[in-house]
Every structure is written in C-alpha cells, then in structure tokens.
Structure 1
Amino acid sequence: MFKKTIFTVVALIVGLHSIPPATANDAALYDKGFDPNAAFIRIVSSGESVLRIGSKRLQKGQNVSPYVAVDAGRIAVDIDGQASEIEAASGKFYTVVGLSKGHVIFLKDSIAISPAKSNLSFYNLTGDKSVDLFVMQAKANVISNLPSGQGKTVQLRAPLTLDFAANVDGQTEAAVSGVKLQRGGGTTLIAMRVNGAMTLKAIQNEIAK
C-alpha cells in the first residue's frame, strides 16, 4: 500500500497523462511579467492588511498579494505598519508571511520557469501544528506535514484541473474543487482558520503590473 501511494504521487508530479505541445491558449508565465534581472516579492497574510513592498503600496484585503518586481538587494516590506527588510537576489521569488502579533517569516519560493509545468504553492496559516495538502484525484498528499506559518512549492505537469483538501491528522478540515493549473503559471493555496473553522482558498499567482 505504501509503495502504491508513493507511485501515485510521483505520477501526479510528472504527469497524469502525456502532455501535448503548448498552444497559444496556454497561460504565459505570470502574464509575461518575468524579468530575470529582477527579484520578486509577495506578501501572504491571514488578515485584511495594508501592504507595501519597496515603494509599491498594495490593495488592502488581499490574503495573497501579486509578486512585485524589485531591484535585487535589501527591500523594505511593511504589513500594517510592521516594517522589515528582506535580502532579495536576481531571478528569485520570495514570500513574506505575516502572522499574528506582528510576527513575520521570510520564505524563498522554489518557482520553476517551465512551459510544461505549473507551480503549486501551499501555505499553512491555520495555527495547526501541521497540515497536509491532499489531492482528491490521486488519493494522496502532494505536500505533507507542512508546519504552521510555513509554505512549500512543488511543480506539477499542466494543464490539470484538480480538487484539493487540507487535512489534519488524516481528517479533512477544508476543501476546494476545480483548481486550474496552467502551463507556465502558478497557483497558491492558503489554509486559514476563520472563527475556528478552517478555509482553503485558491489564488492564481501573478506579477503586479
């Protein structure tokens, strides 16, 4: 049974079926906003925060902001007046996770630039010690034991439309269906608790214009 589960997850990551060549209808990488000389930073927050990356002020109420292209170096980040700095390198993607009580975590995202794959990022902002991201179609976890306040990115062959669940100790706490994974793009799933109940939200990654 264990070997079968491992095989299922590997099959999901390398492709559930053979992928035809890319077509004009496939999504370009973050709307062709990728500049290899820039660094890319976004903010993930569980509340309706006022966000700023460098000199760019972002829309209030976004749980996941767009990536903002900045010059490499030390970049100022502000979440509801809580200021901090991140050292950003050219061609790299970063997520600043804003937690409760002004606590901030900096994560380096493993974003891959591939015309045949989609980046899938998962963040656990629930407060639960660990959460699994479960794929309904594969009947297996694609990300396991993600600690609270952390995120992880994997690459999946695309295009795919999948249903996901956020599981705690093998029990489904929240789910989202019909998540479209597009070639050359990315999707973020964020698990949060609202009034004690877990939610799982899917958001398409993008680079701010």
Structure 2
Amino acid sequence: MNLLTKTAVTLLLSLLFPVLGQAGEDALYAADAPDGATFIRVVNADVNGNIPQAEIGGKAIKDIEPLAASPYIHLPAGTYQLEVGDQAAPITMEKDRFYTAVVLDSGELEILPDKSFKNPRKALISFYNLTDDGGISLKTANGKVSVIEPVDSLSVANREINAVKVSLGAFAGGEALASTSPVNLQRGTVFSFFIMDVGGSPRLVVAENQVDTSI
C-alpha cells in the first residue's frame, strides 16, 4: 500500500470512528478571550502586497502578508465599521461568533461567518472558496476521500474530524487544482484551508486559527 493510499485510509477511518481520550479546555483556540466576546480576523487574498492595517472597534490588525490570515481579535458584540485602506464595510457581530473578512484582489471586502468550535475531542476543518468559480471541494490530495463537498464562490463550509496528519487538495469535479503539504490536524484545533486564484493559477493555503488576546 503506497503512502497516499495509507493516508486516505487513515483519514477515512478518522471520519468514521471516534478517537479515545480527551483534551483540556485550554486547547480550544478562544479559551483566553473574555466570556461573550465576538471575534474577527482578516485574510489578505491579494498577492500584490501587505495590508498595512485593518481597523475595527478602536483596534488595529497590522501587517497582513499576501495570501495569509491574521489571528482573530476579540471585541464586545455589536455593530462595527471595518476599515481596510480606502474600503469600509459595516458588520454586526454576535457574541461567541467568529467572522473572517477577506480582502479580495480587487480591494473589496467580503465578510464570511465562521463556525464556532467547542469540541476538544475533534479538529475542525474550514474550507473557503475565495475564487470566482463555484463547485470546488476538499479531498485527500489523491482525491480518494471526500472531506468537504463542493463549495460556492466566496463561501465557506466546515467539518469536524478526528485527529489525523494528512495532505488535502482542492478539486473541481475530478480535476485537482492545488494541494497542501501534510497537515497535523490535532484535537481542539481549527484549520482553515483557502483556495485562491493567484495570477490565474489556483493555490491552496492552510492556516491554523489563533486568537490574539494582546490586541
């Protein structure tokens, strides 16, 4: 059995059967934030340069590199104005909810609601289709195991799985678009996979979700 086939079998088993054991509550990535807070981060989907600063609620998220996601920051629940460069977008954020603001290559802002996650026994995968094309799915890199069904353009879908180390790929139908190196999906963590169009070539970017409570 080759390595890719072993990886596919391992992921399939992780999707079907529970893993024994329990992680502590401190493994949850928002554990240090205030009770009832709301959370937002910024993703720079523009390959052309850093985002020097994004401002919301009197807080600033600085120096977001191209094709990268900032940590989440926390705010009291409420209605805010997010400002990035000369773009601004209103957003009403509910307590205990998470949001991703995407800066597209056009400079426009797209705000997507994220899934709250409070399961220390699982890992959460969030798959963001940041391309203009719909119907992109997330599978094991060899295409043998489906992880997240096709996602529309500028949309996100989620799935909880058990801990596993695996390479994942974005697919349009049966066509492989892009893949990642092996990712260690540990219990109590959230990983975001972003499929982006970089100069006409798709790229799959992965980031572990974090909250920066120092901001």
Question: 1:20, 1:29 → 2: CA distance?
Answer: 18
Please tell me whether residue 141 in structure 1 is matched to residue 143 in structure 2: no
Question: 1:35, 1:200 → 2: CA distance?
Answer: 32
Question: 1:178, 1:27 → 2: CA distance?
Answer: 25
Question: 1:29, 1:118 → 2: CA distance?
Answer: 10
Aligned to 2:171: 167
Shift of 1:103: 3.1
Q: In the superposition, relative to structure 1, how do residues 23 and 89 fare at CA in structure 2: closer, same or farther (>3 Å)?
A: closer
Once the two structures are superposed, what CA deviation does each residue of 1:35-90 show, in whole Å capped at 9, x if it has no partner? 33101111223023232232222232342111111000012212223111211111
Please tell me whether residue 33 in structure 1 is matched to residue 32 in structure 2: yes
Q: In the superposition, relative to structure 1, how do residues 23 and 102 fare at CA in structure 2: closer, same or farther (>3 Å)?
A: closer
Question: 1:53, 1:179 → 2: CA distance?
Answer: 32
Please tell me whether residue 81 in structure 1 is matched to residue 81 in structure 2: no
**Do the aligned partners of 1:66 and 1:206 also contact (CA within 8 Å) in 2?**
yes
Give the count of matched residue pairs. 198
Q: In the superposition, relative to structure 1, how do residues 79 and 28 fare at CA in structure 2: closer, same or farther (>3 Å)?
A: same
Shift of 1:188: 0.7
Q: In the superposition, relative to structure 1, how do residues 116 and 34 fare at CA in structure 2: closer, same or farther (>3 Å)?
A: farther
Return the TM-score normalized by structure 2.
Answer: 0.80
Question: 1:51, 1:72 → 2: CA distance?
Answer: 18
Aligned to 1:122: 127
Q: In the superposition, relative to structure 1, how do residues 19 and 27 fare at CA in structure 2: closer, same or farther (>3 Å)?
A: farther
Return the TM-score normalized by structure 1.
Answer: 0.83
Q: In the superposition, relative to structure 1, how do residues 138 and 170 fare at CA in structure 2: closer, same or farther (>3 Å)?
A: closer
Structure 1, unaligned stretches of length 5 or more?
1-7
Question: 1:156, 1:19 → 2: CA distance?
Answer: 10
Please tell me whether residue 206 in structure 1 is matched to residue 205 in structure 2: no
Please tell me whether residue 193 in structure 1 is matched to residue 197 in structure 2: yes
Aligned to 1:22: 22
Shift of 1:13: 3.4
SS of corresponding position for 1:201: strand
Identity of aligned residues (%): 28
Matches within 5 A, 1:94-109: 94-109=99-114
Please tell me whether residue 151 in structure 1 is matched to residue 156 in structure 2: yes
Q: In the superposition, relative to structure 1, how do residues 97 and 22 fare at CA in structure 2: closer, same or farther (>3 Å)?
A: same
**Do the aligned partners of 2:141 and 2:180 also contact (CA within 8 Å) in 1?**
no
Q: 1:132 aligns with which of 137, 150, 160?
A: 137
**Do the aligned partners of 1:53 and 1:68 also contact (CA within 8 Å) in 2?**
no
Shift of 1:207: 0.3
SS of corresponding position for 2:181: strand
Aligned to 2:117: 112
**Do the aligned partners of 1:122 and 1:190 also contact (CA within 8 Å) in 2?**
yes
Structure 2, unaligned stretches of length 5 or more?
1-9
After superposing the two structures, state which structure 1 stretch, 99-108 or 126-135, moved more.
Answer: 99-108
Q: CA RMSD in A?
A: 2.6
